[in-house]
């Protein structure tokens, strides 16, 4: 059975944000065939898209998995649902959001899954935490490292700040 190295973006802004994200990490680590290998620090981030909402708490995870990407995505959605995620508004508030960002060097474009994540290169709330744990991972489409993609964004200190606690 193949083993996939996977990068996951995690975030949320409803309820006790840190507790929700910590619970998602625990649930993820309890799935068969899944091992959370590394975890970035948490970062407070400004909303993107729908701006009229509270700040998010975001991070990134490195996961080793024997699950194929489409099956892994179903498990991530199940964890989101278990933790009270509702999809009422695009880019709206949520208890927890788990995004597959990268899976090895796979490129997938299907109706339910796009890898690498199509907007990850534009988002400081993804790249700042990801650069903490995987700065040299090469984006399979652009050929640029996570560190280089983050540098391309320019200054991010107004968008992403280290988490200081609730």
What was the pLDDT predicted at 48? Answer: 85
What was the pLDDT predicted at 129? Answer: 98
Task: Decide if 123 is catalytic.
Answer: no
pTM of the model: 0.93
- CATH number for the domain that contains residue 153: 3.30.70.560
Closest-CA residue to 64 (of 39, 36, 22, 100): 36
End-to-end Cα separation, the chain, in angstroms: 42
Confidence of residue 40 (pLDDT cuts 50, 70, 90): very high
How far from 90 is each of 50, 95, 130, CA to CA, in Å? 7, 14, 23
Write down the catalytic residue from 23, 38, 74, 85: 85
Write down the catalytic residue from 19, 23, 74, 94: 94
Count up the domains in the chain and report the number.
1
pLDDT tens sequence across 49-66: 776 789 999 999 999 999
| Segments forming the whole domain that contains residue 94 | 4-162
Task: Decide if 105 is catalytic.
Answer: no
**Quick one: 110 exposed, middle or buried, by C-beta within 10 A (0-12, 13-18, 19+)?**
exposed
Task: Decide if 85 is catalytic.
Answer: yes
Write down the catalytic residue from 99, 104, 144, 147: 99
pLDDT tens sequence across 98-153: 999 999 999 999 999 999 999 999 999 999 999 999 999 999 999 999 999 999 99
Task: Decide if 94 is catalytic.
Answer: yes
């Amino acid at each position: 059975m193949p083993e996939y190295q996977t990068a996951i973006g995690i975030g949320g802004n409803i309820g006790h944000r840190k507790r929700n994200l910590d619970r998602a990490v625990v649930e993820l680590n309890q799935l068969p065939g899944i091992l959370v290998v590394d975890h970035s620090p948490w970062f407070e981030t400004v909303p993107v898209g729908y701006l009229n909402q509270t700040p998010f708490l975001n991070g990134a995870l490195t996961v080793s998995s024997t699950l194929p990407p489409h099956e892994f995505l179903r498990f991530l959605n199940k964890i989101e649902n278990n933790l009270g995620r509702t999809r009422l508004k695009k880019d709206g508030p949520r208890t927890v959001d788990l995004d597959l960002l990268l899976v090895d060097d796979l490129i997938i474009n299907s109706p339910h899954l796009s890898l690498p994540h199509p907007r990850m290169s534009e988002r400081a709330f993804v790249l700042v935490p990801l650069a903490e744990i995987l700065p040299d991972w090469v984006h399979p489409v652009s050929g640029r490292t996570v560190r280089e993609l983050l540098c391309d964004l320019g200054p991010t200190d107004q968008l992403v700040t280290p988490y200081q606690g609730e």
